[in-house]
């Protein structure tokens, strides 16, 4: 336990010694028990804070590992990487959580793109943000369709419990489909809007970033930018 927590526990014990009648009746043993209880509460609070910091650090590390690092080490053209990010974001927003990677695998059979990069960006929707994100879908879709919102966040969260309780994606998808058209239609409208907006934005932003990175790489090698892109295309086809 840190010194700050120990001092806080001692201050609480002092207040307790002066004010709690049970201490005067039962002696010091009751005071020590209260101090141990107070110390445990402080330790638990510190543990929760450390867990929260660790979780945020873990999220930052996952974002860097799955989204940023594959782009930094990519040996593809800016258009190829931008297309991969765009597809990943579109799939992440429009496919329910749990089925993105499977759907992405089917797309990979039809189109050529960087699956690793796209897979990282599908996690823009994930089990951690699923409930607030999907409630935002419901809010946006209802607003676009001009329909009144009949569910508050608490009711929506309870309504999603059967979906979250399923162990397999197809069971969860079936439970999601059973939520009814009053929720699914606004959800689908919002999903299409967000997938289109972020898919297009992700393409242009990634293209500019990767174009700048490739220009620097070409300069280091003493090549023209077009020559460097041609080398990347040749490497991809070989």
pLDDT tens for the chain, 238 residues long, are 433 333 344 444 444 444 444 434 444 455 455 445 555 445 454 545 544 455 567 767 777 787 888 888 888 899 999 999 999 999 999 998 888 999 999 999 998 999 999 999 999 998 888 999 999 999 999 999 999 888 889 989 888 888 888 878 888 888 888 888 889 999 999 999 999 999 999 999 999 999 999 999 999 999 999 999 998 888 877 6
Let me know if residue 160 belongs to a domain.
yes
Same domain, 81 and 51: no
State pTM to two decimals: 0.72
Let me know if residue 211 belongs to a domain.
yes
Tally of structural domains, the chain: 2
Let me know if residue 68 belongs to a domain.
no
Produce one character per residue of 82-110: b if its CB has 16 or more CB atoms within 10 Å, e if not: bbbbbbbbbbbbbbbbbebeeebeeeeee
Same domain, 79 and 48: no
Same domain, 51 and 155: no
What's the rounded Cα separation, in Å, for the pair 79 and 211? 8
The tokens 């609070």 sit on which residue?
Answer: 45
Same domain, 128 and 82: yes
Same domain, 80 and 32: no
Let me know if residue 203 belongs to a domain.
yes
Same domain, 87 and 21: no
Let me know if residue 63 belongs to a domain.
no
Domain that holds residue 145: 74-237
Same domain, 200 and 171: yes
Same domain, 232 and 201: yes
């Amino acid at each position: 336990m840190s010194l700050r927590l120990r001092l806080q526990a001692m201050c609480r014990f002092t207040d307790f010694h002066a004010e709690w009648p049970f201490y005067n009746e039962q002696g010091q043993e009751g005071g020590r028990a209260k101090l141990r209880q107070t110390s445990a509460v402080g330790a638990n609070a510190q543990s929760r804070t450390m867990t929260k910091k660790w979780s945020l650090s873990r999220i930052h590390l996952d974002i860097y590992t799955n989204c940023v690092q594959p782009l930094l080490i990519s040996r593809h053209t800016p258009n190829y990487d931008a297309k991969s990010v765009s597809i990943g974001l579109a799939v992440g927003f429009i496919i329910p959580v749990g089925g993105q990677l499977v759907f992405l695998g089917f797309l990979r059979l039809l189109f050529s793109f960087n699956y690793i990069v796209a897979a990282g960006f599908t996690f823009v929707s994930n089990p951690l943000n699923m409930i607030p994100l999907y409630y935002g879908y419901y809010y946006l879709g209802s607003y676009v369709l001009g329909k009144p919102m009949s569910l508050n966040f608490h009711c929506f969260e309870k309504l999603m419990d059967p979906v979250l309780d399923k162990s397999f994606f197809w069971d969860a998808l079936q439970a999601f489909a059973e939520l009814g058209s009053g929720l699914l239609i606004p959800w689908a409208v919002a999903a299409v809007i967000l997938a289109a907006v972020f898919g297009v934005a992700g393409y242009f932003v990634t293209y500019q970033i990767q174009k700048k990175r490739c220009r620097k790489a070409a300069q280091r090698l003493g090549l023209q930018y077009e020559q460097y892109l041609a080398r990347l295309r040749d490497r991809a086809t070989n």
